[in-house]
Amino acid sequence: MTRFSSLVLTLFLLFVIGCKDNKKTEGDDVLENSKELPKEKMATDSTLSLHPKPDSDNGELFLPDGFGALIVIDSVGPSRHIAVNDNNDIYVKLRITTGDKGNVALRDTNNDGKADVVERFGEYPNDGAFATEMRIHNGYLYYSSELVVYRQKLTPGKLIPDGTPETILTDQFPIRWHNAKSLAFDNKGGMFVTFSAPTNACEDPNHRGETAKGMYPCPGLDVLGSIWRFDENKLGQFQSDGEIFATGLRSIVAISWNDEDNNLYAVNHGRDYLHNHDPKHFSQWQNAVLPAEEFMLIKKGDNYGWPYSYFDHFKNKRVLAPEYGGDGIQTTTGYTDPLMGLPAHWAPNDMLFYKGSMFPERYKEGAFIAFHGSTNRSPYPQAGYVVAFVPFKNGKPTGKWEVFADGFAGVDTIVDMKDAKYRPMGLAEGPDGSLYISESRQGKIWRVLYTDEKSNFKDSQLNIMEKRKSRSYIKTPDENLDNLLKNP
């Protein structure tokens, strides 16, 4: 056994012990029921489905004025990330819960925007239910299980990739919490892979008391809780073959390379249980609204401070974590700050920088974020369950996020995650600039289009979505009025 392998196993045991009492949170994606996969058809050459008509009800979505949406497929199975090829073929990463093949390919053959060819493929082991990634890059389809990154060659005109999956990277750790294996590519031969941490705050399992205590230094922080860079074309790699790019990152599912400024961006899943771990200094309300989900510009060598700190988006400051002596007031320095803080526990599970020309100019180069939705804000309503948009100006976010697509939850007050009808999960851009959105519960996929004249777009067309911020699953809850135990 190599020295690196021995270190891996030792650190994993420490992490498992440290997180054994943690409950599942928004990053865990509690297993959800799904409908049977639609009956398969034989694939034929596709024709590009340009600008189909939106559904009359926009697939039950609320969008800014001028936008429309149609349902591409109703229930492909419990889905994670998606990718769209330059002929509008769609590839979906499924959660493998039955031992079946882990990917689905979709094709529209009659130009109505609906998938009428559905083929399941991907012969690889079922090594965990939270397998996530699906990306098209340089003629290959890259996808991941919890432990392995694969790729297959795409051939023009053929729906299913050629050959058997090639193994690019194998994770030597056993299956664990926060194990998405999300990917981004820097167009210089580099592939970024997330190795998230399997604990909430690197808790000391031997500590007993009213408040939790963190291990210092946190063991294995240079191996897990980080993003690594690998050679995208080298087969058979292990973590020791790559280089650590950034650390102090608890759990990253949403990650993307921005071609506009050639930088890596991500949105993290922030930590949980501030009140549970330190009820003296943190109320249940603070537990629900803190800490921020951090929108990050990540440079090589960055340290974002987990588990020793968290980002308070109300104060716009990095604060010392209670497990390390913090009281919610004491700030800390020496770590990288995010570009902006986003609402707590919303579970950002994908992000996409818009490059297309279909949408109005204000959307160009901005970032769409799929918020899967919270699970642990009780006694306050659960929140998120939307696709948000962060406008960029001169290469930087404007500091204000917008609700772009809403209606996934289907209810106003989400007491429990299971109350939500759908949970936004994956994002992809089509060759015509339309935006595809997947959800994880049954695998519905939407295609969002802009149907008006772009030059006539006015900021007033956003008003309808701004008003939706008053919804209980979007707004910052009132500490007293929105407490569901006090006001059921």
Q: Which residues of 353-367 are buried (b: 16+ CB within 10 A; e: fewer)?
A: bbeeebbbebbbbbb
- Predicted local confidence at residue 40, as pLDDT: 39
Is 66 in contact with 451 (CB distance < 8 Å)?
yes
pLDDT digits (tens, 9 = 90+) for 356-382: 999 999 999 999 999 999 999 999 999
Q: Is residue 477 part of a domain?
A: no
Residue with the larger pLDDT of the pair 349 and 14 = 349
Whether 179 maps to a domain, the answer reads yes
Looking at the domain assignment, is residue 178 inside a domain? yes
| DSSP states along 254-293 | EEEEETTTTEEEEEE-----HHHH-TTT--HHHHHH-SPE
Of 28, 114, 76, 191, give the one whose Cα is nearest residue 441.
76
Does residue 152 lie within any of the structural domains?
A: yes
- What average pLDDT does range 449-469 have in this prediction? 95
pLDDT (average), residues 244-266: 97
Residues in the chain: 488
DSSP 400-436: --EEEEB-SS-SS--SSGGG-S--EEEEEE-TTS-EE
State the chain's mean pLDDT as an integer: 90
Residue-level pLDDT at 439: 98
Domain membership of residue 486 (yes or no) is no
Residue 244 φ then ψ, to 5°: -70, 135
For residue 237, being part of any structural domain is answered with yes
How high is the pLDDT of residue 4? 53
CA distances from 132 to 84, 146, 268 (A): 15, 8, 15
CATH number (domain holding residue 279): 2.120.10.30
Structure tokens belonging to residue 307: 């588990």
Q: Which domain holds residue 107?
A: 3-470
Q: Is the pLDDT of residue 438 over 70?
A: yes
Answer whether 268's CB lies under 8 Å from 294's CB: yes
Q: How confident is the model at residue 10 (pLDDT cuts 50, 70, 90)?
A: very low
**pLDDT above 60: residue 349:** yes
Alpha-carbon gap, residue 273 to 294, rounded angstroms: 17
What integer pLDDT is reported at residue 100 of this predicted model?
A: 79
- State the total domains in the chain: 1
Predicted pLDDT at 50: 59
Among 61, 83, 64, CA closest to 430: 83
Average pLDDT in the 327-338 region?
98
Q: Is residue 460 part of a domain?
A: yes
Tokens of 301: 């060598």
Which contacts of 208-213 are long-range, i.e. CB under 8 A and separated by 24 or more positions?
210/279, 210/280, 211/277, 211/278, 211/279, 211/280, 211/322, 211/323, 212/273, 212/276, 212/277, 212/278, 212/322, 212/323, 213/323
Give this prediction's pTM. Answer: 0.92
The residue among 95 and 47 whose pLDDT is bigger is: 95
How sure is the predictor about 128, in pLDDT bands with cuts at 50, 70 and 90?
confident
pLDDT at 208: 82
Which pLDDT score, from 0 to 100, does residue 293 have?
99
Is 488 within a domain?
A: no
For the segment 34-92, what is each residue's pLDDT rounded down to a tens digit?
A: 344 444 343 344 434 458 999 999 999 999 999 999 999 999 999 999 999 999 999 99
